[in-house]
């Protein structure tokens, strides 16, 4: 079991392997049993495990035994279980040392592992076209190597004698590629939900998405022969490039809307300031002329000076109040409609 601690959603990789060769029926049975150990839906409790005569809860084992966190902190690190569709993502690695099994057996295994259900249950299974689409949707580089992906269930078949560390090397290297694509899918879905929400904080979303894109969305992730091809294949299968473009488009549209609002706000502020200045211009000129006459007589009447000070204070308060009111209460759209007949 591996725990990949990422910034937002940690990934738990549970690895199950057999200690002897399996036939086709035993492979199906092992896949069903392994899937039953996972939570079925967000908020569901994982199964109780029995290890060495001890019963333990998966949550208790990870947080208490592995991470050694006190029980009062468990709720701080608990999160929702994310899954794509009806089941959690799964990576099935099947190695047949005798070579490729018969085509009928191999196709039956692919359909069973890809669908997470018995392929012979016609009453609830997919139609013939979907079955053929699943079988055709694969990546192959060598004659003894083939990779299938369907709804976040990855199935890798190896055929022939064990060479060059296979299948252990494949499980070690390529399962992590599958894990990082799963994490990208979850995070991009989070960003898309935020960008489409009614109270999206665009500035915060833009910064966090840019940081995530720099760190977790590289174009090349490995130097292994098939690594980048598998990475691109999985990203396309999960529609990650389309989701990323949609998020970027949502941010771009929000930025354009914000710039238009700021432009209208600035224009209307100038109109308000110009109008207020025009209203105060005659009084200012009259006050200035009257003040010049008083200064020429060298008479300093307190009433005049207090009145002049009050006029300027009132003007400053009026200009500031109107500016704050237009910005805080968003009077721009209403005044624009009133002045320019816009709806």
pLDDT tens per residue, range 197-210: 766 677 788 888 88
Pairing mode of beta strands 11-13, 2-4: antiparallel
User: Residues 231-253: what's their mean pLDDT?
Assistant: 89
Per-residue confidence (pLDDT) for residue 255, from 0 to 100: 76
User: Residues 77-95: what's their mean pLDDT?
Assistant: 67
Q: For 136-197, give the DSSP string.
A: H-EE-SSTTEEEEEETTEEEEEEESS--TTTTHHHHHHHHHHHHHHHHHHHHHHHHHHHHHS
Query: By CB neighbour count within 10 A (0-12 exposed, 13-18 middle, 19+ buried), where does 156 fall?
Result: buried
Residues 6+ apart with CB under 8 A from 55: 48, 49
- Kindly report which listed range (112-121, 269-278, 297-306) carries the lowest average pLDDT score: 297-306
Inform me whether the pLDDT recorded for 173 exceeds 50: yes
Contact 201, 33 (CB under 8 A): no
């Amino acid at each position: 079991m591996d725990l990949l601690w990422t910034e937002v959603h940690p990934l738990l990789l549970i690895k199950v392997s057999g200690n002897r060769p399996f036939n086709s029926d035993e492979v199906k049975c092992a896949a069903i049993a392994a899937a039953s150990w996972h939570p079925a839906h967000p908020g569901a409790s994982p199964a109780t495990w029995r290890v060495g005569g001890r019963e333990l809860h998966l949550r208790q084992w990870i947080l208490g035994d592995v991470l050694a966190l006190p029980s009062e902190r468990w709720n701080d690190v608990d999160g929702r279980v994310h899954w794509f569709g009806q089941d959690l993502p799964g990576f099935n690695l099947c190695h047949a040392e005798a070579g490729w099994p018969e085509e009928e057996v191999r196709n039956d295994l692919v359909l069973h592992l890809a669908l997470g259900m018995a392929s012979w249950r016609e009453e609830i299974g997919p139609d013939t076209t979907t079955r053929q689409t699943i079988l055709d949707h694969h990546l192959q580089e060598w004659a003894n190597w083939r990779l299938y992906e369907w709804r976040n269930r990855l199935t890798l078949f190896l055929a022939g004698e064990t060479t060059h560390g296979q299948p252990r090397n494949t499980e070690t290297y390529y399962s992590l590629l599958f894990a990082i694509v799963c994490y990208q899918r979850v995070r991009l879905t989070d960003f898309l939900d935020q960008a489409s929400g009614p109270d999206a904080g665009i500035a915060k979303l833009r910064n966090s998405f840019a940081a995530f894109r720099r760190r977790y969305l590289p174009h090349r992730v490995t130097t292994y022969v098939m690594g980048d091809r598998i990475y691109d294949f999985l990203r396309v299968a999960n529609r990650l490039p389309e989701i990323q473009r949609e998020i970027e488009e949502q941010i771009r549209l929000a930025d354009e809307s914000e710039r238009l609002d700021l432009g209208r706000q600035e224009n209307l502020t100038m109109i308000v300031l110009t109008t207020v200045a025009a209203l105060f211009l005659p009084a200012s000129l009259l006050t200035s002329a009257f003040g010049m006459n008083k200064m020429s007589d060298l008479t300093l009447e307190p009433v005049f000076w207090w009145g002049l000070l009050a006029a300027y204070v009132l003007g400053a308060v009026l200009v500031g109040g109107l500016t704050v009111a237009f910005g805080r209460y968003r009077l721009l759209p209403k005044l624009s409609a009133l002045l320019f007949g816009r709806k």
